Structure 1
């Protein structure tokens, strides 16, 4: 069976880093064409650096493209989340600086070039940060939609309310105009919103199970998850949801998730609902809005993938 071709667009970020480690481990199922980064959890130069750090941690060749994309949202003022992810974006973990020369190719140009080349075998785009790069790429080159089989997004919220305002989830709030453009593109999408990621709470026992795998990569993944828990507990007195890794795990095990077809819009008008996602559930919807998950099995899949790294 041919591997699924994927591109990951991200803003690392503690949970983005874990998502990357899972994707790097799943080489038997996923052909990772490249990584693009965007300003979000921290500034753009830091998300770019962090993606390259995690590429090195995973032992992946520097030949795997990592490209920096948009340094700010389309319209709104920039918003970041250093209060959760730390000033570096990786929770203050002591990790070596990235090796190899940083490419100067823009992430949006990389997306356009790569997706034009995948029209014969469309790729999956996994998005774990603000959708700025995707909106820009689709605006500049609408034909790249033919190179996409689907977009898998961590973002939005409906029944759960928001995590940065009472109505809005951070990734969408950080660039709601971009999210609106992508949701309205008509491209098939799967959405891991807070409605489902809040069912995936990372217990201390789960962190210990990841650490017990023993590889350097698993230990760093455990450190990232533990840092998320510490920061989540200081703010909300609960364990951190497994937000961004849920996208890669949903690719690997879609049978563990249950959703409803929808069309989705985003509130872009200023006010207290700014950044809110509004799913309209209908059979002709091009968006699969996940609402339920087998949490225990998803965590088992996480353990299984991180267990692929050699000790």
Structure 2
């Protein structure tokens, strides 16, 4: 008997790699995407909320509601990444205004309402941007934690070092106070950090295999990954783009291609050189899971499988 699709809520800040993540999630028969909430991060909220709707429309999934969430971090000054992702947030796609408008509620209100209504331990949250929306929801209504099965985030770094400062990864650095609230909440959090995402890169041969599938969405994804490689090359000549945010979907669909360890993660929020760093300590009782290794070939085989049957 086939297991029913896993119900998920996606919180993101598209972003090229968020766009790839959304394409994977919306194409996966094993995931039931209930809603998408956008947050300021890679680019401002007006762009992340439009870009999320754009991907839903391109994937033929305008039935999935998209909510605009928090336009800035909880405490720190806003920080965005247009210098990497481009002014639109999504290089490699022709930008347009989606037909379906934003859902009328605030993204934080949507998270609270859905988690309140959920059966205990039934909803999985995928977070691929700053954790502002979930942190605000937990502050407003701590009881919503009961509805969470797992929180799967892309963020942080340990042995890999940072990508926005020498010690900090962008998603955590953009709102470390929110990250601290989520990590300290006791929720079961699985972390796909730079430690693992740097092991899976969009090598030209892998993009070529995607393009050879010939489906519309495979061609779109190949365009996104090619654009990501061009942008990565500006900052790190000769390097291909890591598969940051898509790693969250790969973890949920094929956890067997990863290795991980039980850990306790905390976020450094005091000012200084370590601001935004994730401190990781192995702990048999968790409550966190720190993913350490990925099989890159299996990762891209998964993506090819998701894209080959799409229109």
The 5 Å alignment of 1:94-173 reads: 94-120=94-120, 122-173=122-173
C-alpha contact 2:121 2:146 (8 A) present in aligned 1: no
In the TM superposition, what is the alpha-carbon distance from 1:121 to its structure 2 partner? 5.8
In the TM superposition, what is the alpha-carbon distance from 1:219 to its structure 2 partner? 1.2
Under a length normalisation based on structure 1, what TM-score does the superposition of the two structures give? 0.97
User: Structure 1 residues 233, 46: CA separation in 2 closer, same or farther (over 3 Å shift)?
Assistant: same
Partner of 1:2: 4
CA deviation digits over 1:129-177, x for unaligned, max 9?
Answer: 0000010011111111111101000000000000000000000000000
Partner of 2:25: 23
C-alpha contact 1:169 1:194 (8 A) present in aligned 2: yes
Q: Hey, what's the Cα distance between the residues in 1 that align with 2:189 and 2:120? A: 19
CA deviation digits over 1:17-75, x for unaligned, max 9?
Answer: 0000001110x211110100000000001000000000011011x33110000000000
- Determine if the alignment matches structure 1 residue 235 to structure 2 residue 235: yes
Partner of 1:194: 194
Partner of 2:217: 217
Q: Hey, what's the Cα distance between the residues in 1 that align with 2:84 and 2:65? A: 28
Higher deviation after alignment, 298-307 or 14-23: 298-307
Aligned length: 308
- Determine if the alignment matches structure 1 residue 66 to structure 2 residue 66: yes
Partner of 1:75: 75
User: Structure 1 residues 254, 92: CA separation in 2 closer, same or farther (over 3 Å shift)?
Assistant: closer
Q: Hey, what's the Cα distance between the residues in 1 that align with 2:189 and 2:102? A: 31
C-alpha contact 2:49 2:102 (8 A) present in aligned 1: no
Partner of 1:226: 226
Partner of 2:204: 204
Structure 2 alignment gaps of length 5 or more: none
Partner of 2:288: 287
Higher deviation after alignment, 104-113 or 215-224: 215-224
The 5 Å alignment of 1:236-255 reads: 236-237=236-237, 238-255=239-256
